Structure 1
Amino acid sequence: MSYCLNPTCAEPQNRSEAEVCQHCGLIVQLQNRYRAINPIGQGGFGRTFLAVNEAELLKPRCVIKQFFPQQQDANLLKTASQLFQREAQRLEQLGHHPQIPTLLAYLEQDHHQYLVQEWIDGQTLEQELKMGAFTENQIRQLLQDLLPVLQFIHHHHVIHRDIKPANIIRRRVDRTLVLVDLGAAKFATGTALLKTGTMIGSAEYTAPEQIRGKAVFSSDLYSLGVTCIHLLTQMSPFDLFDGTEGQWIWRDYLTHSVSDRLGKVLDKLLESATNRRYRSAESAIADLSSAPQLEVSRSVEPTTPWQTIAETLVNPLIALDIEPAKPLATAAKSGAARFASRQHLRISNWSFPAALIVLSLPIFLMSVLRAVSSPRHYSHDFAKPASQSATIVAPHLPVTVSILMTDRAWVSITVDGKLEFEGVLPEGIRQTWTADQQIILQAGNAGALVVSFNQTPDQVFGKFGEIKEVIFSN
């Protein structure tokens, strides 16, 4: 089916192969390639259509946005037209990001403005919320997905200004969250941030300074925080704020428990005063990464020298009748083909010299194996030439490591002895971790990572195809 884009057409539905509308005679295609199939939304300033790109062999789906304001006030029309043009400019300026729809075309035809962009097949978080309130793990994942996107657009001096569940789509093919509708986005410069302008955004999710027309980068973080508590409670944000006391009361409406650590992150996102709120997505990412993750993270107990030795000695202990107690944990870690099996041990009636000899033998054998194994190679930026592993030291400071993915790659992050992340990170994402003492970064394709250590300038982690490990410590 084809759908006529003439707003006044009384019978807009046409045959799939139609070149002009059978009722009003308007050309059906845009630029002889984009054909609207059916309308999927309408707002105060325009209409949105599902469409196909017939100039391509597979005829992929896309979205056509038509500027068609309902208001006739001259000032409103001017503002609406500027917002429509701004969305095209912002999408073009931001370029390609896997979590922002790609701009395909911006054009004018038959006295109407049109914007054509990538079709994101999936449900909005507003639609998902109808299935029930979100859990802590879902909110953590949301923040981990979207904070790097905000970091990306803020680095391009763009403020989204309309973050809410309806503008976040979970892409069906990979379950990744995509941030849509940059129509309200504003280009920010050092002086522009200080000027009072038009209030744009959805009132329930809008930061106080944005209501006054003074949106800043952290205004997006505020809106993201409000989005989170709305998803956690299924309550209108207006009902989650006590105007009498001047404070958020979202915890009173939770249907699932939330840890104190995540609660503190949300509270800081929701601060009314910008000087108490997170000033950047990076700082929020750092706090979120340092917080323990439910159902994922495991506490790491300190080990004594005897326990460290014992980790390598399951079979010899059995032979010597050294009785192991109940195992504490067994973990398999990929990357450098490691594994560890931790056990508390009780040694029965053996003389100290005999036990020491037996315990030392495997250590000696492991040292020999390490000596003859192939050494790792590191890039000049991070490596110590005489060492098989690189160690970067930041005396007396917390350790913060930020990575930007320029391509897909397997990454493992261990923070203060605890595995925080292991898996494949997509191109375009930025993640930040903070530790008290040490961060171990492993990558299966070092050339795909750009790394910053304690806010130093970004550096390429290594060569493409190189497997690399670096220890950052204080």
Structure 2
Amino acid sequence: MNRFSGNITNIRAYSLEQNHLAQMCGSKQLFRDRYVILRIIGRGGFGITFLAQDAVLPGNPLCVIKQLCPKVTSPRSWQSACQRFEKEAKTLAKLGSHSQIPMLLDYFEGNGELYLVQEYIRGWTLAREVRRNGIKTEAEAKQFLRELLPVLQYLYQNQVIHRDIKPLNLLRCVDDQRIVLIDFGAVKENLTDVGATSLNHNINTNFVGTMGFAPPEQFSLRPVYASDIYALGMTCIYLLTGKGPLEMEHDSQTGEVCWYNYVNVSDSFTRILSKMVKISLNERFQKPSDVMRALNAENDFPHLAHCLATQPLNIHPPAPVEATEEYISPTARTAIAIRQWQAKLKAKQSHLS
């Protein structure tokens, strides 16, 4: 069933003064006979995000309503935007079964606007966490990667690229301290008119990401799964240094961030992070599982080192066996050696007494 009408009413400048939900903030009026709009918690080029309360469900839980404003100028473009939006929403609904991704509760169209209703995560961003508590240690940064890489692997298995992983899009849940990935690039894509021909126009309207955290191929509108690995690596570097990618020096030849000048971590971890944020796709980790494997191997190095013989073993050679022309089996040789050792021990004890 088509959940969207063919009406289009938003061929106009987008402003808070004309926004119905913005006018409802703080009032007792219900949106769609269900949601109490509390306040605006975010605003960007893709629309506005509101904190709301579900007046129908028991306990009146909080939720997030994302209002998207597709930039379209014809009914045909509007219908195409609605179809894409519905497809993206269904993808988010499937992803929301993961404990580190907000659950999609509903999606619909109203008055020429598109809406998503998602689970509200109580917590704070990792950017705020670093500002308040300071930078992370190497051990904490590794733990962060071990928490997030399975989420990226889950996205990879579902053929989804987030495209905007950064400290502001990672929430530390106040209830159980888990890290939740929010603000999916899948629905942040601008739903513009089909058939736009200007290259510059396409770049301005279709690029999804954040300068510094997004890799070069993303600026060319060709993101791949390894693009999220790059952004995750840059986020990890931010946790270690407290600096964003644009605040650090870049190699004049490769264009890569010289992040290792701002923090002291082990050589093995430096190699892993450096491979995560390689400019060249061919040199970068291709899948989240590749990074996890490298981290696990690095974790095993100290244990393997104890298994390697770097010094001569201090083992005394067995007592010589008296020469004989007869064949003596290994068992007999051992028995002879034991008797000789017992005789020496008995003689030593007699001497001491």
The corresponding residue for 2:95 is 94
Q: Contact 1:222/1:269 (CA < 8 Å) preserved in 2?
A: yes
Deviations 1:231-287 (A, max 9, x none): 211222023342423233111122xx3111111110110111111111110010011
Identity of aligned residues (%): 36
**How far did residue 185 of structure 1 move?**
6.2
Separation in 1 of the partners of 2:55 and 2:23?
Answer: 23
The corresponding residue for 1:234 is 242
Q: Contact 2:26/2:37 (CA < 8 Å) preserved in 1?
A: no
Matching residue within 258, 272, 290 for 2:279: 272
Q: Does 1:108 align with 2:109?
A: yes
| Higher RCO, 1 vs 2 (CA within 8 Å, ≥6 residues apart) | 2
Q: Which moved more, 1:220-229 or 1:103-112?
A: 103-112
The corresponding residue for 1:253 is 262
The corresponding residue for 2:47 is 46
Q: Does 1:7 align with 2:19?
A: yes
List runs of 5+ in structure 1 lacking aligned partners: 19-27, 188-195, 305-348, 354-474
Within 5 A, what are the aligned runs for 1:215-230?
215-230=223-238
Within 5 A, what are the aligned runs for 1:325-404?
none
**How far did residue 291 of structure 1 move?**
1.5
Q: Contact 1:40/1:50 (CA < 8 Å) preserved in 2?
A: yes
Separation in 1 of the partners of 2:129 and 2:284?
Answer: 28
Q: Which moved more, 1:279-288 or 1:86-95?
A: 86-95
Distance change in 2, residues 1:237/1:86 (3 Å): farther
**How far did residue 117 of structure 1 move?**
0.5
Taking only aligned residues, the RMSD between alpha carbons, in angstroms, comes to 3.6
Within 5 A, what are the aligned runs for 1:120-159?
120-131=121-132, 132-159=134-161
**How far did residue 51 of structure 1 move?**
1.3
Separation in 1 of the partners of 2:81 and 2:242?
Answer: 31
Separation in 2 of the partners of 1:214 and 1:38?
Answer: 36
The corresponding residue for 1:36 is 37
List runs of 5+ in structure 2 lacking aligned partners: 1-15, 190-201, 310-341, 347-353
Deviations 1:22-80 (A, max 9, x none): xxxxxx323x22222222111122111111222211111111111247x7889xx9799
Q: Contact 2:27/2:37 (CA < 8 Å) preserved in 1?
A: no
Structure with greater proportional helix content = 2
Q: Contact 1:161/1:185 (CA < 8 Å) preserved in 2?
A: no
Q: Which moved more, 1:4-13 or 1:46-55?
A: 4-13
Q: Contact 1:45/1:80 (CA < 8 Å) preserved in 2?
A: no
Deviations 1:370-393 (A, max 9, x none): xxxxxxxxxxxxxxxxxxxxxxxx
**How far did residue 229 of structure 1 move?**
1.2
Deviations 1:82-130 (A, max 9, x none): 8865652331232511111100000112332210001111111111121
SS at match of 1:242: coil
Separation in 1 of the partners of 2:54 and 2:345?
Answer: 78
Distance change in 2, residues 1:208/1:44 (3 Å): same
TM-score by length of 2: 0.69
Deviations 1:182-201 (A, max 9, x none): 134699xxxxxxxx984321
TM-score by length of 1: 0.52
Separation in 2 of the partners of 1:264 and 1:350?
Answer: 59
Separation in 1 of the partners of 2:21 and 2:235?
Answer: 38
Q: Larger Cα Rg: Structure 1 or Structure 2?
A: 2
Separation in 1 of the partners of 2:343 and 2:135?
Answer: 59
Distance change in 2, residues 1:227/1:44 (3 Å): same
The corresponding residue for 2:294 is 287
Matching residue within 215, 224, 229 for 1:207: 215
Distance change in 2, residues 1:112/1:264 (3 Å): same
SS at match of 1:275: helix
The number of equivalent residue pairs is: 280
Q: Does 1:172 align with 2:184?
A: no
**How far did residue 5 of structure 1 move?**
11
Deviations 1:179-228 (A, max 9, x none): 111134699xxxxxxxx984321121111111111111111101111111
